[in-house]
Structure 1
Amino acid sequence: MIRTESLDRASQSTGQIIASSLTPGVYELRARLFAAAGGTGTELGTTSQVLDFCGTGSNTVNANTSFGTSAQSVRINPTSLTLKEQAVRRIVSTVWAADGSARFVTPGSISFTSSATGTATVSAAGVVTGVNAGTANITTTWAEGPLSGSMGVTVEDLVITRTKWTVLVYINAANDLFQASDLNVNQMERVANNPDVRFVVQWKQSRDQFPSSSFDGVRRYLVKYDTTGNIASELVQNNMVNGLGQPLDMGDPQTLNDFITWGKANYPADRYCLVVWNHGNGWKRSNLEEGGTRGFSYDDEYGTSIQTWEIDEALGSNVFDILAWDASLMQMVEVAYEARNRARYVVGSEESPPADGYPYDAVFDGFRDNPDAPTADLTLGFVEAMVNHPPYATRKITQSVIDTSRLPALATAVDILAANLIAQEANLQTIAPLIRANAQAYSPNSTRVYRDLIDICTRLNAEAGTPAPVKAAATNVITAANNAIIHEGHNNQSAGSRGVSIDFMGKDLYPSLRPDYERLKWAADTRWNEWLAVAP
């Protein structure tokens, strides 16, 4: 949605709304008529029409509406439609009066039907889906007329080819990161010149929330090679909506799951990388002091996000070669362990990286140049690109790669450490708070106590008063963590980082977070939650 405005006028009087500085393109104007001022009272009617701003001349389009006038026709825009199998397009039905105005009609009085649902289906909101190659007619009916109109739909075969890599990028930019999304897609375009490495993007922006966004709604792109500053990629699906005709909620785990299913079906590959692009908050919801309930993939249009314990729901039964978090604070053992059965390698940052996120051209140039290289070798590109990116030299940068097959051993080591910490809790009354205060921290505040796991254990070993059993267990954790972390890089702004963080909160904070923490697989399989419950 670009703009919402109320025009209050008495019956039979006229008025106008002027929308200026619109980007050239095709827009839908939706109008609703109410009995009282300010959009209140009974809703008397609704109408939608398509406006074409071609970008030439004065770029002015007049859109007139009327109520109670004599209806002449009902027509669908566009007048015909060609789409691929599985593609989705939205159509608009308008009842036109004899004077050329769009007539208000009773809400719910317009319907759609398809003559061949095996070829194309249409929802009550006018969403057409290509099912199988062929032709169909879509008919719209205005029940109060009654009047009807139709359009032809041609569905073409979807030609599917297999490549060496498909990189699925889930860009939820319906938030304050929207500007970085254009930059990142441009970076992908610069390295999209190897046909064996495809970038497939689901991308959302919301002009309702952020008017300066470059577009509005949810789109799917097949990224195409381009070195300009423009987005030159192939728009595969546009204006993707739910059954109610509203933009998809990209803070819903099912929306991510649907994108993955669609992407793998239409762009199969020998190997897959999934990049989740957005804000992140580590394992937990937003800070209690911020009043939110966000985890990762924040959709500000709906106030939603995906929680860490919903990773299985979001990723389904898929197993990715690489799961990369282009989001803050996500390289935690709690998060990686949750995803261990869904990805062979988990890539991410312990820190909160800059808003521009991954420099995608630098991250993926190795994929483009050598797509047959071992996956573990290619993941090094994430680390080197972040650490060596000149604009990030003065920012806190961390990046690491975890081999998930080695996480069970790390979980066992941490479980034993937790048992020893619990047993020695009385002897750690000053040591635990000291380590909490001095270990490498990540965006710390009163409710976020994320610390580097290896740094915690190194400091436990360095304290003279740490009981011997705790030191022995900490040493084993360091060994297991180093085995699991196959690549790691950081700059001097985050000098104590070693590749994976853990929540190191104390018993005063834990009760408020216990219900969520105990949803995690990490809490089910280790005694770390039991340690947090008693930690000084």
Structure 2
Amino acid sequence: MATKAPTKRNWTIMVYLAGDNNLDSAGMVDIKEMKTVGTTDQIAVLVQLDRAGANMQTVRYCLKKGTSLAKDAVQSLGETNMGDPKVLEDFVTWGATTYPADHYLLVLWNHGAGWDDANLYEGDVFSGAAPPVSRKAEPVVTRGAAPGAKAIPLAQARAGIRRTRRALFSTTVQAAVKERGIAFDDQAQDFLDNIELKKVMTAIKKKLTRKIDILGMDACLMSMAEVFYQMRDVADYSVGSEETEPGDGWPYDRILKALAAKPAMTPEELSKTIVTQYLASYKATENVTQSAVKLARLKPLATAIDGLAKALKGTLADAASRTALINARAQVQEYSRPYDDYCDLIDLCDLLVKGVANPAVKTACAAVKDAAAAAIVATGYKGPAVDNSRGISIYFPKRKLSPLYKTLDFTKKRAWDEFLKAYLAGLGR
């Protein structure tokens, strides 16, 4: 007897929920949100969950409305390392094969730190941290916290890695930098870095013989030119935040409700919906950002940024232009204070156009803004601290250039890192 082919849906949502860290309780809140809609005839909602604590089973779920979470379990994988690219590859391959669909949304759920691939486990950042407390008033399950550890407000939890970054780098030279970006697993002391993420997404594309439609980053600081460029060939769209995300992250109930009402949404429509619903779920004062980009348009943007880098580098010998550039950097929209190495790209161009008299810089800024406008399909913010956010940030350190920056695709054939090196050297003098 022939095996019946799986039902093909409009969308399969795959959430890679790396909760083996101090965001464990936030993950359980988000799963409850997902279950308010759950899997339907048109939408499959899948989660791979690794909870905090030793000897915890990693479980795959097909979430449904009105059932217990235990009944939604499809597979138990034992203890896994969610920072291992192979684990992510296996999840996505399983999800797409078992629950085929016209479109796929893959969400990487965890801490995030943009492009900056430094190994935070060298500094013992998360170990012993109590779970965060949600503003949604959900009960918090304390798992894996050190006795007497002080609970972290959920609004700060995902941002915590950047606040502790200086403690990491002020230790000793032996705290050697390693690649790091997203999906932290405390038991394995591992994470996915941007280089690994590109490799695993490329492998997934080869296995599925197609790109993922939307790569979602439910994590901090991932809406960066460098990160998007790294993913330019492996997904059609990407959604993420320029600023640190509150621990509550994406409002999965709102997003899935909107998709269930219109399951025939195109990838661009769903990308825009995620941005709209994310912003709607937060108060006007909560300082949140979210944006969606069409990744095929990142190459023209990178080319325009390359032109800007060359124009800016050419002005550094001119005292007036150099002063105007320093002033622009001092005023530009920044993120993850006080470790403010990321700034909004379009806001930077606006300030440069106003302050730098050099015609080549003005022309280059106009080209960057045009290319960014073509790439960004939706963007928004809430809160006075992020009110100059326009959708894509870029690395622009004030003090020191990370040696890891040159390992990214973005810097291999582009001059932005060369401009930064010359600019920072000038400040040193």
Shorter chain as denominator, the TM-score bin is: 0.7 to 0.9
Matched residue, 1:296: 182
Distance 1:346 1:416, change over 3 A: same
SS of the residue corresponding to residue 60 of structure 2 reads strand
Letter in 1 for 2:224: M
If each structure's helix is expressed as a fraction of its own residues, which one has the higher value? Answer: 2
Superposed CA offset, 1:92-144 (max 9, x none):
xxxxxxxxxxxxxxxxxxxxxxxxxxxxxxxxxxxxxxxxx9xxxxxxxxxxx
Contact residue 279 and residue 382 of structure 2 kept, 8 A: yes
TM-superposed CA distance for 1:170, in Å, is 0.1
Unaligned runs of 5+ in 1: 1-132, 134-156, 209-214, 242-246
Matched residue, 2:411: 523
1:173 and 2:19 aligned: yes
Matched residue, 1:237: 75
Letter in 2 for 1:259: F
C-alpha distance in 2 between matches for 1:175 and 1:384: 28
Superposed CA offset, 1:434-466 (max 9, x none):
2222111110345x4100000000000111x44
TM-superposed CA distance for 1:193, in Å, is 5.2
Of 219, 238, 247, the residue aligned with 2:59 is 219
TM-superposed CA distance for 1:345, in Å, is 0.6
1:320 and 2:219 aligned: no
1:188 and 2:23 aligned: no
TM-superposed CA distance for 1:158, in Å, is 8.8
Aligned residues with identical type, % of pairs: 34
Matched residue, 1:340: 232
Unaligned runs of 5+ in 2: 119-161, 169-176, 206-210, 425-429
- Identify which range, 183-192 or 293-302, moves more after superposition: 293-302
SS of the residue corresponding to residue 106 of structure 2 reads strand
Matched residue, 1:386: 278
1:269 and 2:155 aligned: no
TM-superposed CA distance for 1:372, in Å, is 1.2
Contact residue 333 and residue 389 of structure 2 kept, 8 A: yes
Matched residue, 1:480: 371
C-alpha distance in 2 between matches for 1:384 and 1:376: 12
Distance 1:500 1:522, change over 3 A: same
C-alpha distance in 2 between matches for 1:419 and 1:317: 36
Of 351, 374, 387, the residue aligned with 2:243 is 351
TM-superposed CA distance for 1:233, in Å, is 5.3
* Alignment of structure 1 residues 72-91 onto 2, 5 Å: none
Contact residue 39 and residue 63 of structure 2 kept, 8 A: no
Distance 1:432 1:254, change over 3 A: farther
Contact residue 298 and residue 305 of structure 1 kept, 8 A: yes
TM-superposed CA distance for 1:339, in Å, is 0.5
1:408 and 2:299 aligned: yes
Matched residue, 2:423: 535
Contact residue 223 and residue 241 of structure 2 kept, 8 A: yes
C-alpha distance in 1 between matches for 2:199 and 2:71: 30
Matched residue, 1:124: none
Superposed CA offset, 1:196-255 (max 9, x none):
1001111001223xxxxxx922110011113x8x536510112x24xxxxx110012221
SS of the residue corresponding to residue 290 of structure 2 reads strand
SS of the residue corresponding to residue 363 of structure 2 reads helix
Letter in 2 for 1:342: V
C-alpha distance in 2 between matches for 1:475 and 1:370: 37
C-alpha distance in 2 between matches for 1:184 and 1:466: 49
Matched residue, 2:387: 495
* Alignment of structure 1 residues 54-65 onto 2, 5 Å: none
C-alpha distance in 1 between matches for 2:357 and 2:184: 41
Deviating beyond 6 angstroms after TM superposition, the runs of 4 or more aligned structure 1 residues are none
Contact residue 238 and residue 271 of structure 2 kept, 8 A: no
SS of the residue corresponding to residue 15 of structure 2 reads strand
Superposed CA offset, 1:54-113 (max 9, x none):
xxxxxxxxxxxxxxxxxxxxxxxxxxxxxxxxxxxxxxxxxxxxxxxxxxxxxxxxxxxx
Distance 1:455 1:188, change over 3 A: same
C-alpha distance in 1 between matches for 2:167 and 2:86: 26
Superposed CA offset, 1:483-536 (max 9, x none):
110111111331000000000125x511xx12x211111012321111111124
TM-superposed CA distance for 1:432, in Å, is 2.6
Matched residue, 1:460: 352
Which structure has the higher relative contact order (CA within 8 Å, separation 6+)? Answer: 2
Matched residue, 1:9: none
C-alpha distance in 1 between matches for 2:94 and 2:240: 25
Letter in 1 for 2:196: E
Matched residue, 1:307: 193
- Identify which range, 311-320 or 328-337, moves more after superposition: 311-320
Letter in 2 for 1:266: T
Task: Point out the structure with max Rg over C-alpha.
Answer: 1
Matched residue, 2:173: none
Contact residue 286 and residue 383 of structure 2 kept, 8 A: no
* Alignment of structure 1 residues 97-136 onto 2, 5 Å: none
1:437 and 2:326 aligned: no
